[in-house]
Structure 1
Amino acid sequence: MNRLTTIRSYKIDCSDRSGFDQDYAGDVSATPPSNGIPFVSGRSQELQLQPDLSLYASDVCDEQDVEVSGILQPGLLVVLPLAGEADVTYGDQRFLLGNRDNEGNGLVLSLTQRDRFSRRLIRGTRRRVVSLAFGSRWLSKHEDLLAAYPVLESLRGNHLAVQHWRLSAHLRLLAGSVFELCAVNTPLMGLRLESRCLDIVAEVLAGLTDVNPASERTLRPRERRRLAEFRAFLDSGAGDDWSMQALAERIGMSPSTLQRYFRLYTGNSVFAYQRRRLLEQARIALEQEGISVSDAAQLAGYTSAANFATAFRRQFGMQPGILRLHR
């Protein structure tokens, strides 16, 4: 953001909330008392999905040059910029999310205590972002899971510690689907969003293995570049029907070496990664397009709708037909 502008301050009272970076929800933002012009226009949503787990999704355009501020609660904040730029300060650290230097990167921020945040709104700037806030109770409940990720462990002990990582195509797909789910107000919307957010958490953790010190000691830079390109190939869907031998030949490894390195890189075997991605695509098609369960099974690579329903239930905790009934 290079243009000069006059920034006015406006304080947000969010001391009892998880703390994202705006104080609005719905079709238009809260309006400041000075001139009756809204801060932003567009669509935003903030939801409490579990105790100490909150979702924030915003697809807006700034309507004023103004600075908004508030308080963040202790925990972990995950920010997924999908489009546009955001100029935000957490504590005493300023970030230009989504700009040329950070385009395509996510951010995890650790807060061991309450601290201030502020955002500079620049009139005419558009942005699309999904954020998750994990409070202390949620983190304590999932301590065993999080302990398997040294990057998170090192972050959590340091106030305002930050980790950036590259958003995968699959993670961007998951985060983007949050907006469609928020737009359809059905009795199952909260359940669907909670499930989707847990999928996002799993993908974030998989992405953080890219910066896991243990993985760094095991995988050389050249191997990591090859694996990043290979995962992008899988995400494109071009290799959905390929055998393990064919996939291994594409990356120039033996099948056993590919499986070992891919598990180090993502935390999953190649086919487990593929299966989860295809099930996710089938779920989005059920939710948004209302396709039949048999068509969803075919989309996910299953010849048997019954086997698909079993795999779907194990992955998402519900039968696929429920999604069609509540569109």
Structure 2
Amino acid sequence: MTGVGRTRADRGSEERGIGARELRRLSTSLVRRQVVEAPGWDSHSPLLRGTMRFADLQPGLRLRLADVEDRYDMVTRAELPAGVKIALVIDGEARVSYGDQTVALGPSAPSTGALVNLPEATSFVRQGRAGGHERTLILSLAPDWLSRHGYPLATDRRVRVTRWSPSPGLQRLATRLFDARLTVAPDPAHHLQLSGFALAMAGEAFTTLSEQAEKAERGGCIAGEERRPTDRRLQRLMALVDSGEVHRLSQEDVARHVGMSLSSLQRRFRACYGESLGRFLRRRRLETGLAALRNEGVSVEAAAILAGYSSAANFATAFKREFGARPGDLRRKPTAVSSA
């Protein structure tokens, strides 16, 4: 464990404005190849307003605290190394993507926290909007730390996202870290406070993962980012989803393809996945469109067709409701501004 008296912990930014160079410095131990796309940015002004701090707590255990406001509409892209990320948003909202998994986190989102299993280096995208604010804690667990504590990484190379929410006690501790200490000089006591919080945060997130796995097994599913069904009919459904064929089918057609009545399929799906079939299919269709916009730079009309929408306007409406931005805002631009 890093010695308290000679720690590298709590390297941070106390400036109210955080520029591209400072943002890169604060993120260098957490991400690789970071690029910022901000059409309205002049390349010199701060990108963020607020405070951010990074702490090395143990070998392979790092915590980042950010209390920031976006000054521009911007998209940040990077590569995350293998390991586990545990995110907690206690105020505002964060919209991020890990590989092809997009999640919104915060008090007004479906959950405030997420545990993300990254078996290998994975692309990461953060979508920021001018005036948007978030108070976020990100705990990074390296493979060696996980191995020492009995949590091996998954071996199937799939990004897995498990949603979780903190206990009231952990929520209060998180708020206290920001209110009392984020803008003052670090000291050994604060280092111990951060270490204790990080371990408690990891403990709650991993406990949620274990509880969901047990519940899923009882319901005939294996827990994961999208729980893997043991029911062969649901396996046929997921094969339709993975192939993209499901985008052309109504729910009634899907039920016929897997050999179930629609009502039975809907009940079975909710029992296994914890959400409605319609909500799941709509999100997957929109994620297909998002991936085409972000990775290939296709037109909004083409993305709508790929997502199974006959109307680009209907696609744009559903897209904004799901991701909080218009399709054109997240479309890959021909050029990007490097944060170097």
After TM superposition, the score normalised by the length of structure 2 is: 0.49
Equivalents in 2 of 1:107, 1:210: separation in Å? 15
Is 2:50 the partner of 1:42? yes
Give the alignment of 1:37-186 within 5 angstroms.
Answer: 37-98=45-106, 100-102=108-110, 104-143=111-150, 146=151, 157-179=156-178, 180-184=180-184, 185-186=186-187
Equivalents in 1 of 2:127, 2:33: separation in Å? 10
Letter in 2 for 1:189: H
Name the SS of the counterpart of 1:38 in structure 2: coil
Shift of 1:95: 1.8
Are the structure 2 counterparts of residues 16 and 35 from structure 1 closer, same or farther at C-alpha, using a change threshold of 3 Å?
closer
Name the SS of the counterpart of 2:188 in structure 1: coil
Which residue pairs with 2:204 in the alignment? Answer: 203
Shift of 1:190: 2.1
Runs of at least 5 residues in structure 1 that lack an aligned partner in the other structure: 1-8, 24-31, 148-152, 219-327
Which residue pairs with 1:258 in the alignment? Answer: none
Letter in 2 for 1:125: G
Equivalents in 1 of 2:26, 2:181: separation in Å? 25
Query: Are the aligned partners of 1:76 and 1:109 in contact in 2 as well (CA < 8 Å)?
Result: yes
Is 2:193 the partner of 1:192? yes
Equivalents in 2 of 1:85, 1:12: separation in Å? 22
Give the alignment of 1:199-238 within 5 angstroms.
Answer: 199-213=200-214, 217=218
Equivalents in 2 of 1:212, 1:157: separation in Å? 17
Equivalents in 2 of 1:20, 1:60: separation in Å? 21
Name the SS of the counterpart of 2:146 in structure 1: helix
- RMSD, aligned CA: 3.5
Query: Are the aligned partners of 1:47 and 1:54 in contact in 2 as well (CA < 8 Å)?
Result: yes
Name the SS of the counterpart of 1:188 in structure 2: helix
Shift of 1:158: 4.4
Which residue pairs with 1:19 in the alignment? Answer: 31
**Same amino acid, percent of matched pairs:** 27
Query: Are the aligned partners of 1:68 and 1:120 in contact in 2 as well (CA < 8 Å)?
Result: yes
Equivalents in 2 of 1:188, 1:212: separation in Å? 36
Equivalents in 1 of 2:201, 2:167: separation in Å? 11
Shift of 1:200: 1.9
Letter in 1 for 2:138: S
Letter in 1 for 2:101: Q
Equivalents in 1 of 2:132, 2:33: separation in Å? 15
Shift of 1:133: 0.6
Higher relative contact order (CA 8 A, sep 6+): 2
Query: Are the aligned partners of 1:85 and 1:99 in contact in 2 as well (CA < 8 Å)?
Result: yes
Cα deviation code 1:66-104 (max 9, x no counterpart): 1112121100000111111112121222222227442x4
Letter in 1 for 2:100: D
Name the SS of the counterpart of 1:17 in structure 2: coil
Which residue pairs with 1:247 in the alignment? Answer: none
Give the alignment of 1:301-320 within 5 angstroms.
Answer: none
Equivalents in 2 of 1:198, 1:165: separation in Å? 15
Query: Are the aligned partners of 2:87 and 2:139 in contact in 1 as well (CA < 8 Å)?
Result: yes
Are the structure 2 counterparts of residues 186 and 19 from structure 1 closer, same or farther at C-alpha, using a change threshold of 3 Å?
same
Shift of 1:62: 0.6
Equivalents in 2 of 1:21, 1:57: separation in Å? 21
Equivalents in 2 of 1:95, 1:37: separation in Å? 29
Are the structure 2 counterparts of residues 118 and 72 from structure 1 closer, same or farther at C-alpha, using a change threshold of 3 Å?
same
Equivalents in 1 of 2:105, 2:129: separation in Å? 14
Query: Are the aligned partners of 1:20 and 1:131 in contact in 2 as well (CA < 8 Å)?
Result: no
Name the SS of the counterpart of 1:137 in structure 2: helix
Letter in 2 for 1:56: R
Equivalents in 1 of 2:164, 2:69: separation in Å? 26
Query: Are the aligned partners of 2:85 and 2:140 in contact in 1 as well (CA < 8 Å)?
Result: yes
Query: Are the aligned partners of 2:115 and 2:205 in contact in 1 as well (CA < 8 Å)?
Result: no
Equivalents in 2 of 1:37, 1:176: separation in Å? 29
Which shows bigger deviation, 168-177 or 36-45?
168-177
Name the SS of the counterpart of 2:124 in structure 1: strand
Name the SS of the counterpart of 2:204 in structure 1: helix
Runs of at least 5 residues in structure 2 that lack an aligned partner in the other structure: 1-19, 220-340
Query: Are the aligned partners of 1:81 and 1:105 in contact in 2 as well (CA < 8 Å)?
Result: yes
Letter in 1 for 2:193: R
